[in-house]
Structure 1
Amino acid sequence: MLLDKPLAVQVVALTGATGFIGTTLRKRLVESGLTVRALSRREEGVHEGIEWIKGSLENAGSLERLVEEADAVIHLAGAVRGSSLDQFNRINVDGSVRLMEAVRRVGASHRFLLMSSLAARHPELSWYAASKREAEQAVQKRAGDLSVTVFRPTAVYGPGDKEMRPLFEWLLRGWLLTLGEQTARLSFIHVEDLVRAVVAWVSAPQVHSATYELCDGCPGNYDWQGIAEIAKKIRHGSVRQVTVPAALLQGIAQVNLSFSCLTRRAPMLTPAKVGELRHPNWSCSNTAVEQALGWHPNILLERALEERYF
């Protein structure tokens, strides 16, 4: 997305630049003519038009170097896997607080974007959701007069995603694993649309402190049957729905959590995550963010599946 007018922001400080969303975003920011400074545990120097600052969310010095002279800060880095609430909080909450404190000490930035999650709407459902909500509150509390925008995207998918891609591949083979009630409301957003929303935020002449939900804009969002119908249309064949019982899902999650203690690898599916996965209403509306930023999503789930754009 190339911009044909001067930007309100010229220098962007970015965390999470090597992750799923960040990999796409950093490229689009550079294409938009911005100077991008990104935090990395490994990279250093200038590569691909990006100035890499070696460091981490635990290192106050590297965070100050990251945000120095930056007009805007975009905070993507965070944990989506973990075996305890404390593990999520150390990254999602404490890391966000350290970054905001660095911004306030340096004092150059005039806008801050926190990438949260729609899960933060229901912090009681999972460790991840609770940590995201607390991170939002912690950053807003410490912001002072700095404008803080919170994006709460729904389930994000697209090239580079490792979590949802296998589910979509099975769906197009004719198998749909359903979690929770058949009437559950679901929503999705393609990574390119989410990144376009971030670029719209960067290019906006003025932004205000606000929290926005983001999805692909499908009227009424989705349900399991609707997703099956989309797949039937694309593959010109039947789709079998296999409902995973709650007890089985909980059992798998418990085994997964126990196994992670042996391997010391952060798990995705845990007993705490099950409540989030089985929640009956992940519907979402773009009304507020569209009015604020003039952004509109372009990629519905049907198009992404049909074009294998995931």
Structure 2
Amino acid sequence: MLLKTALVTGANGFAASVLCRKLIERNYRVRGLVRKGADLRLLEGADVELFYGNLGGVEPLTDACTDVDVVFHLAAAYRKENVPPKTFWDVNVNGTRKVLDAAIQNGVQRFVHCSTIGVQGDIKHPPATEDHPFDPGDAYQRSKLEGELLARETFRKTGLAGAVVRPVAIYGPGDTRLLKLFRHINRGTFRMIGSGNTLYHMVHVEDLAQGFILAAEHPNAVGEVFTIGGETWTTLNELAEMIGRILGKPVSRQHIPASLVWAAAILCEAVCKPLNLPPPLYRRRVAFFLKHRAFDISKAKRLLGYAPKIPLEEGLRQTAEWYRKQGWL
């Protein structure tokens, strides 16, 4: 059996590094596109051929796709303080165009583009299917939407056999986005903003890797968009209680009115922006507690045979154990 070669862009990232290892387990040769000077710790011990390139630069990426059978395009510019909107566009739109062009020029057989459920914004009537209207809320989400639409248009016009994956909130060992929440609950300093009844949908990084691979290998995936998530969603109250059980710590029943925190965030942004300082509190962080993010994953189940395997509480337990090993809890 001939080995297939996969290119994973942003291979040193959290989800991409796990995908690389899963592909190796499936006997793929794996090439990883990373920036020069990138932190490669998540790829330690993995048999990944590194190719250095910059999605936001001017140089083409044609050579990265030489002799490649399938491309997994996960690299992106993510939301951080003081990232100019142009950076999101350069990487998430123009960078995507460069990867698509390189794939077409090299005759790549399959292409999986990683988008985000953020392109659909706040879900007013959850759960949302893939056909829910677009409603990006910031420059990052707008750039990801444009990148997704570009990929879909390219698949349609060129015949490149591609699929789009929209992950829900990704978590698991190796990720730090939940660390603050774990720490506050561990220290007894966590207070819920608002009612806590907001819906939140998560996916373990290993289940997401399964979704990416199915999108690359299954014939039903071609030309489709898939939301990849865990088996179900939870409320933020339930999520906090779950983490509290795992850590053996009680979770405060005290809730802070959302309107007060929202007003404080507006004030922080107004004071800090002229000084070019990152605000200690900003509206996007508050919105985490207020906007529903719950999604219907039945399309991926039906067409791809996608089946998330890791229950949320077990995945959170794995995450807590990893945080402890790092000395963070």
TM band (smaller chain): 0.7 to 0.9
Measured in 2, the distance between the counterparts of 1:124 and 1:64 equals 31
**Paired residue for 1:150?**
164
| 2:231 counterpart SS class | coil
Q: Deviation of residue 153 (structure 1)?
A: 0.9
Measured in 2, the distance between the counterparts of 1:236 and 1:136 equals 42
Measured in 2, the distance between the counterparts of 1:17 and 1:130 equals 23
Greater Cα shift, 112-121 or 55-64: 55-64
**Alignment CA distance shift 1:234-1:158 (3 Å):** closer
Residue 133, structure 1, aligned to residue 149, structure 2? no
Gapped regions of structure 1 (runs ≥ 5): 1-5
Measured in 2, the distance between the counterparts of 1:75 and 1:129 equals 16
Greater Cα shift, 127-136 or 279-288: 279-288
| 8 Å Cα contact 1:12/1:35 also seen in 2 | yes
Q: Deviation of residue 88 (structure 1)?
A: 1.2
**Alignment CA distance shift 1:50-1:229 (3 Å):** closer
**Paired residue for 1:22?**
16
The one-letter code matched in structure 2 to 1:247 is: A
The one-letter code matched in structure 1 to 2:154 is: R
Normalising by structure 1, what TM-score?
0.82
Gapped regions of structure 2 (runs ≥ 5): 38-44, 122-134, 323-329
Identity among equivalent pairs (%) = 25
Measured in 2, the distance between the counterparts of 1:23 and 1:171 equals 28
| 8 Å Cα contact 2:34/2:53 also seen in 1 | yes
Measured in 2, the distance between the counterparts of 1:147 and 1:271 equals 41
Greater Cα shift, 269-278 or 201-210: 269-278
Query: Alpha-carbon deviations, 1:79-105, whole Å to 9, x = none?
Result: 112533222111111111111122222
| 1:283 counterpart SS class | coil
**Paired residue for 1:68?**
66
| 1:98 counterpart SS class | helix
Q: Deviation of residue 228 (structure 1)?
A: 3.2
The one-letter code matched in structure 1 to 2:120 is: R
**Alignment CA distance shift 1:235-1:13 (3 Å):** closer
RMSD: 3.0
**Paired residue for 1:163?**
177
Query: Alpha-carbon deviations, 1:98-146, whole Å to 9, x = none?
Result: 111222222x112211111110112431221111111101122223211
Q: Deviation of residue 193 (structure 1)?
A: 1.3
**Paired residue for 1:285?**
296
Measured in 2, the distance between the counterparts of 1:89 and 1:29 equals 29
The one-letter code matched in structure 1 to 2:97 is: V
| 8 Å Cα contact 2:268/2:279 also seen in 1 | no
| 8 Å Cα contact 2:116/2:165 also seen in 1 | yes
Query: Alpha-carbon deviations, 1:9-43, whole Å to 9, x = none?
Result: 81111101011111211111112100112212238
The one-letter code matched in structure 2 to 1:227 is: L
**Paired residue for 1:3?**
none
Instruction: Say how many residue pairs are matched.
Output: 294
Correspondences of 1:1-310 after superposition (within 5 Å): 10-42=4-36, 48-58=46-56, 63-82=61-80, 83-106=83-106, 108-122=107-121, 123-143=135-155, 144=157, 145-179=159-193, 181-205=195-219, 207-218=221-232, 221-240=233-252, 241-243=254-256, 245-253=261-269, 261=276, 273-274=284-285, 277-307=288-318, 308=320
**Alignment CA distance shift 1:14-1:236 (3 Å):** closer
Greater Cα shift, 140-149 or 164-173: 164-173
Measured in 2, the distance between the counterparts of 1:184 and 1:289 equals 24
The one-letter code matched in structure 2 to 1:166 is: K
Q: Deviation of residue 50 (structure 1)?
A: 2.0
| 8 Å Cα contact 1:126/1:276 also seen in 2 | no
**Alignment CA distance shift 1:254-1:235 (3 Å):** same
Q: Deviation of residue 73 (structure 1)?
A: 0.7
